[in-house]
Structure 1
Amino acid sequence: MPDTPAATPRARVRVPLHFPDGYRADAELVTFDGLVDGREHIAVVLGEPGPVPLVRLHSECLTGDVFGSARCDCGPQLREAAERISERGGVLLYLRQEGRGIGLYNKLDAYALQDQGLDTYEANAALGLPEDARDYTAAAQMLRALDIGELDLLSNNPDKAGQLRDLGIAVRDRVPTGVFTTDHNVRYLRAKVLQTQHTLPLPELTAG
């Protein structure tokens, strides 16, 4: 197991969640002390987690999660995860890693380049930024602080599962999310499949 310092729960607060489509869920929000990156990540505990809970690592997306941007699938994935985790029991880790870790302003700079024809990864590279700067060490700390050592991961991203396993967390299964395409995000989703092997069955890939 990697020599990662332990984090500890700081506060636990019950919060009723109410999504724009009317879906409601009762959640326990957990904050932490001792996270290696010093960021204010939170765990959203939903349902009754069992020995192998369903877990999602959801990276913050202000444009998608809050404003409902159709340029990504983050908002629909967050909404779906809340319901699926509530039904089975588990945890959603809301990680403050906007724009795959490059920050909000850089993400919007990348959007401007995408409007000129670059895909999401090409735009990051043109700005001198990594394709994906996210590190899940803090996520592993949070899981251990919640006494979760084995889980099923709700994700299309193989890198999340790989990093968690490297950090000593047992990922039993990787459970795919739904596919949420719009006219505005098809190129973005296609790039995720082609560049970082996301498991998204997009008909656009076989349509030319």
Structure 2
Amino acid sequence: MATELPAATIRTRVTIPLRFPDGYSVTAEAVTFHGLVDGAEHLALLLGERSKGTAPLVRMHSECLTGDVFGSTRCDCGPQLREAVERIENAGGVLLYLRQEGRGIGLYNKLDAYALQDAGLDTYQANLALGLPEDGRDYTAAAQMLEALGVTELDLLSNNPDKARQLRELGVKISETVPTGVHATPDNLRYLSAKVEHTHHTIALTEPSRVAG
């Protein structure tokens, strides 16, 4: 049985231009909300125009200051965000930018986890070593945002099966799960492999043997 959600309402709609370091630019409608259950300042970006009769393409992207803003190659977050914006613009849909740094543990804890990763732990082991969950993200607020936007059925742009599971349990109908590209680099290959091994992300790595644990 789907979880009954408290209603969220739209607070502000404003048009903003987006421009990425590679020169790609697009205009989005940014939407903010009242009544989100976690009290965080999550943001929806409405992009593109979808064809009649098609479900919107939706990406739930968790904030990553190091990857999204500073271009860190320790993760694939920055390239995933850039890819998602263009694909959603082309298909028509919504990017939910969720303030869930470090899979929900926060920026400082994420950097503490990086130090443990440098000492040999993988990204999930490092979180546990800090006494934190492997993945502390909850997508109830995301489902509220979608409901407030009138989105009840969607195509989900994600490699993470937990996102689809949580949304379905929250009453959101997913027509199709669409994988993102693989943005592997020498710096993030171990991180990506851990996502495959621990949480069964659908990432086709070409060199998994190079990655330990």
Normalising by the smaller structure, the TM-score range is over 0.9
Instruction: For residue 206 of structure 1, report the CA deviation from its aligned partner.
Output: 5.4
Instruction: For residue 207 of structure 1, report the CA deviation from its aligned partner.
Output: 6.3
Find the residue that maps to 1:56 and give its secondary structure.
strand
**Residue of structure 2 in register with 1:182 after alignment:** 185
Instruction: For residue 38 of structure 1, report the CA deviation from its aligned partner.
Output: 0.2
**Residue of structure 2 in register with 1:88 after alignment:** 91
**Residue of structure 2 in register with 1:7 after alignment:** 8
Find the residue that maps to 1:203 and give its secondary structure.
coil
Work out whether residues 29 and 43 of structure 1, in 8 Å CA contact, stay in contact via their aligned partners in 2: yes
- Alpha-carbon distance change, 130 to 161 in structure 1, aligned in 2, over 3 angstroms: same
How does 1:91-170 map onto structure 2 within 5 Å?
91-170=94-173
Q: What are the ranges of 5 or more consecutive residues in structure 1 without an aligned counterpart?
A: none
**Residue of structure 1 in register with 2:61 after alignment:** 58
Find the residue that maps to 1:55 and give its secondary structure.
strand
Work out whether residues 49 and 91 of structure 1, in 8 Å CA contact, stay in contact via their aligned partners in 2: no
Instruction: For residue 168 of structure 1, report the CA deviation from its aligned partner.
Output: 0.1
RMSD between superposed Cα atoms in Å = 1.1
2:17 & 2:74 partners in 1: Cα distance? 28
1:195 aligns to 2:210 (yes or no): no
How does 1:32-51 map onto structure 2 within 5 Å?
32-49=33-50, 51=54
Q: What are the ranges of 5 or more consecutive residues in structure 2 without an aligned counterpart?
A: none
TM-score, normalised with respect to structure 2: 0.95
Find the residue that maps to 1:163 and give its secondary structure.
helix
Runs of 4+ in 1 over 3 A off after TM superposition: none
Letter of the 2:182 partner, please give it. V
2:121 & 2:186 partners in 1: Cα distance? 16
